[in-house]
Amino acid sequence: MRSLFRFRTTARPAPVDLRTRIFAAGDVASRFKFTHMSDATARIVIRNALFFGRDRMSALTVPWCTYTDPEVGHVGLNECEARERGIAVTTFVQELRDVDRAVLDSEVSGFVKVHVRQGGDQIVGATIVARHAGEMLSELTLAIARGVGLGALATVIHPYPTQAEAICDCARSRSGRDRHRNSSISDPSRGDQKSRRRVQSHPADATSKAIV
């Protein structure tokens, strides 16, 4: 049957813009396969694609938590990663068995470990092993993201009794204000392995030793 319609092709090849940018978000764009990281990368894409932003994923401070019992939360660098980057660190450790709220809750299996750049106050990484490590980690994540030193956290009043006091105890150790003498310090430059031995002998270390 003969067509009742006739078409005249006048289209020309569309010009190719070699400056076209490609954006990606989520698991395909990051080594961190977490829901909260997918949300963060999507927000970067929106700002960069629609509002001509120049945000970079490399500038993000990414916390993560493994929901075991106790939970294992981490942010920033661990000791091995800091060593690989040539960053000397001093490590402050507060075990939960010396934190009043953890004792009251019978949740003493765990610790807070904070790595500070040696000779300074900059927090480069932290690990928390606790029943609610994911809830406790945000304070240290904010400190790393905004450049708040560990000593500054010693001036923050924490409600008593809470397990988050373990973070404050580490900070007081850094600033020399610790009255309880419960925190331990590991400084690789002095060969001091006391806190590391304490952590490794602790039951929680079986869960966390690979990342701390």
pLDDT digits (tens, 9 = 90+) for 22-60: 888 888 878 888 889 888 888 988 888 888 888 887 778
Q: What is the pLDDT of residue 188?
A: 47
What phi and psi values does residue 10 have, to the nearest 5 degrees?
-125, 5
pLDDT value for 198: 39
Instruction: Assess whether the previous peptide bond of 161 is cis (omega < 30° from 0).
Output: yes
**Number of other residues whose CB lies within 10 A of the CB of residue 11:** 5
Mean pLDDT over the full length of the chain = 80
The pTM is what? 0.72
Residue written as token pair 């809470």:
162
Higher confidence at residue 70 or residue 34?
A: 70
From 125, 133, 116, select the one nearest 175 (Cα to Cα): 116
b/e 159-185 (16+ beta carbons within 10 angstroms → b): eeebbbbbbbbbbbbbeeebeeebbbb
- Asked if residue 169 lies in contact with residue 113, where contact means CB atoms within 8 angstroms, the answer is no
* pLDDT value of residue 41: 87
Separation CA 120–CA 155 (nearest Å)? 17
**What band does 70 get if pLDDT is binned at 50, 70 and 90?**
very high
CA 203 to CA 207: how far, in whole Å?
8
Q: What is the pLDDT of residues 121-173, one digit of tens each?
A: 999 999 999 999 999 999 999 999 999 999 999 999 999 999 999 999 999 98
Whole-number percent of the chain with pLDDT over 70? 74
- Tell me the pLDDT tens digit for each residue of 74-115: 999 999 999 999 999 999 999 999 999 999 999 999 999 999
d(CA 90, CA 172): 14
The sign of the torsion formed by the CA atoms of 78, 99, 195, 175 equals positive
Q: Tell me if 202 sits within 8 A of 95, measured CB to CB.
A: yes
pLDDT at 111: 98
With a cut of 50, say whether residue 193 has pLDDT above it. no
Does the pLDDT value for residue 178 go beyond 80? no
Q: Higher confidence at residue 202 or residue 56?
A: 56
The gap from C-alpha 17 to its chain's centroid, in whole angstroms, comes to: 39
Residue 49, pLDDT score: 86
CATH superfamily of 64-208: FAD/NAD-linked reductase, C-terminal dimerisation domain (3.30.390.30)
User: For position 150, what pLDDT does the model report?
Assistant: 95
Give CATH 3.30.390.30 domain extents, the chain: 64-208
